[in-house]
Structures are given as C-alpha cells and as structure tokens.
Amino acid sequence: MNGYSRLPRVGTNIFTIMSGLATEFNAINLGQGLPDFPMEAGLIEAVSKAMRDGFNQYAPMPGWMPLREAIAQKIQGLYGFALNPGTDITITPGGTYAIYTALTAILEPGDEVIVFEPSYDSYVPNIEINYAKAVLVPLNTEDYSIPWDLVDKAIGPRTKAIVINSPHNPTGAVLSAADMQELEKRVSGKGIYIVSDEVYEHLVFDGARHESVLRYPGLAARSFACYSFGKVYNCTGWKLGYCVAPPELSAEFRKVHQFNAFSCNTPVQVGLAGFLSNRDAYLGLSSLMQSKRDYFIRGMAASRFSLKPSRGSYFICGTYERISDEADKDFAVRLTREAGVATIPVSAFYQDGTDHQVLRFCFSKKEETLDQALERLCRL
C-alpha cells in the first residue's frame, strides 16, 4: 500500500501474541478472556432446532424481532427502562463490533473522545480510524476508579463522546451510582455522547448492582449501550451482541451496520429469543463467576503475587514486585515459557505502554484448569 496505513501504530495485538506463546509452550492460558467449560446444553439445542426448523437465511438487518422483544423485556425487568424493540435495539456480531459502529456513527474528523486507561484495546483504534482523537485519562492506580477532576480537564470544545466500561476489562473495577451521577453532571447540556461497554453486565460481585447507563434517563438519552451474548452464555465464539440506543442514534448506527455486517447469524438469534425467557441462566452468572474469583484468590494466597480487587468481569489483576523487577511484558513472556502459565501484561492496555508491573489473569476457567495454574504460580 505504498507505506500508507490507517492505523500506523497498530500491530499484532497482545492477545494473539500471548495465546500463540501459550500454544507454543503448552502453557495454561489465563490470558485470553474465554471460558474453558461447557455452555448451556439447552441453548445449544435451541440453536440446533432453529437450524433444523429452517431458520438459515438472512435475518432482518436490525435483528430477529422476537429476540429484540425479549431483550426489551429483559432490560425493562433489570433496569426499569422501557424500549421500543423496533427502533432502539440492533443485533450485532459481537460487542466489539457494536462499539466500533457506535463510534463510526457519530465521529467526524477532529472530534475528541475521552478514554480511560487501562482500556480495552479496541477503543483507541476505533476512534483513530475515524480520524478522531482519543483523549486519554488514567484511572487511579490503587483501585482503577475514575479521577473525575481529570475528566473535567479533559473535556473541551471538541469532545464528542466518553467511553465507559463497567465491569471493567482489564481490571475488574465496577462503576458506582455516584460515578454515574458524576458522569451525568459532566455531559448534561454539552452535546457529549456516551459509548457504554457493558458486555460483563451479569458479572458483578459481592452483592453490588450493575449501574447501566439505562438506569439513568439523562444518560440513556445520549448513549449507545453495547452488550455481548458471548459473555452472558459462555459462548464467546458465537460473536453475537447488541446495541441499545435512542431512535435517532439507532438510525445512524444502522446506516453503518447495513453496509458492514448487514445481518447476523439467524439460527443463533432464533435460539436466543426463546432462551432469554430463562432469567436464571443470566441472573445466576454473577454467583458462578464470583465463586471462581474467590477460588483463584484463595489459591493465590500462597503465592508471591499481590492481587488487586476485582468486583466484576472475568478478570483480576496482580502485581509481582516480590518476584521480579522485569517489565510486565518481559515477565509475562518468561512466565509463559518457564512456568507454563500465560497472562496478559496490563501495559498493553495503555497507549504509551505505561508499566506498573501488573498482569491480568482470567479466572473464567474450570477448577482443574485453575488448580494447575495455581500450582505453577505458587512455585515462583
């Protein structure tokens, strides 16, 4: 391409690198955020039945209507927010796609988007490929909370949007009701949109409540809320999610969507439409993942890692200053090669590679997988 690149600073991402090393060295992969235990057999059968029943052609561009109706009922029950499934919900091939499409729908060259670091690695490339600028605000390093005084300094005349993510990947931090109120104060009357990454909405621990933007009418009116069925039903490879937005924002979202994916996997949508009526299948997920988090924390107590709080998601972070003074990427690579456990260095979630010597562990694994990893980690 004669040296031209729309994303000149982007190479192979850290997840591909670390997963490749895990395969090469036959390591236990606690790096990639995916479960290694079976998903719901009933959902598999529901999708299989949809295929046998002939639901194998294109679904409508916004998504299978019974699925959108089921999502609207779910959101009404969870967050008390009434949606029109015809205009407010769009089915997407995954949550990451929904975030990209939302940003593409609203950004113009020169716009600025506030992003909190460490951040999920797609946000900044999504912004830059639209000729906009990411304005980076570092989270507090003790607990990865939002420093609202720095947000005030980051907001300017070109601020078009703020990206939030709760429960947070990579840290497991969770936004509080006070955080949402602070956010609402800062965007009210300023024409600033919210892109809310809520793919781990059902993985909130210790009795806390997921503070969706949809609980707050002032935020919901200018938000794209992005979700993932893969994280709800432990089927990340199905790559199906959805975006909730007000009608005028959904209309712009669908303009982009119709010329990109256009339509998503039909039998999966049909199967999910009926399966969503089983509230226990998603409401019970927090307790399942909390038990896995707690199991991992107990096992790591005998190690020389120091774990940070994790209040949601698949992830927990830990420092290793009692083991090594290496850079986190170097230590993560050596850990994979020599100890046989793959992790993700948290510096990969900072654009400038800020290194606090922290690794991210994924605990969404079978107990036997965690046991093998813990035994190796505790030998260090």
Write the DSSP assignment of 335-352 as a string of letters.
IIIII-EE-EEGGGGSTT
The per-residue pLDDT for 1 is: 53
Backbone angles phi, psi at 113, to 5 degrees: -130, 125
pLDDT confidence of residue 148 = 98
Sorted by where each starts, the structural domains of the chain and their CATH numbers stand as 14-39+283-377 (3.90.1150.10), 57-279 (3.40.640.10)
User: Which pLDDT score is estimated for 2?
Assistant: 66
Q: List the structure tokens of 270.
A: 């049909």
Residues 6+ apart with CB under 8 A from 160: 106, 107, 108, 111, 112, 113, 132, 192, 193
Angstrom distance (rounded) from CA 121 to CA 155: 22
Strand partners, 91: 242
Residue stretches of the chain with pLDDT short of 50: none
Angle between helices 266-275 and 41-52 in degrees, nearest 10: 130
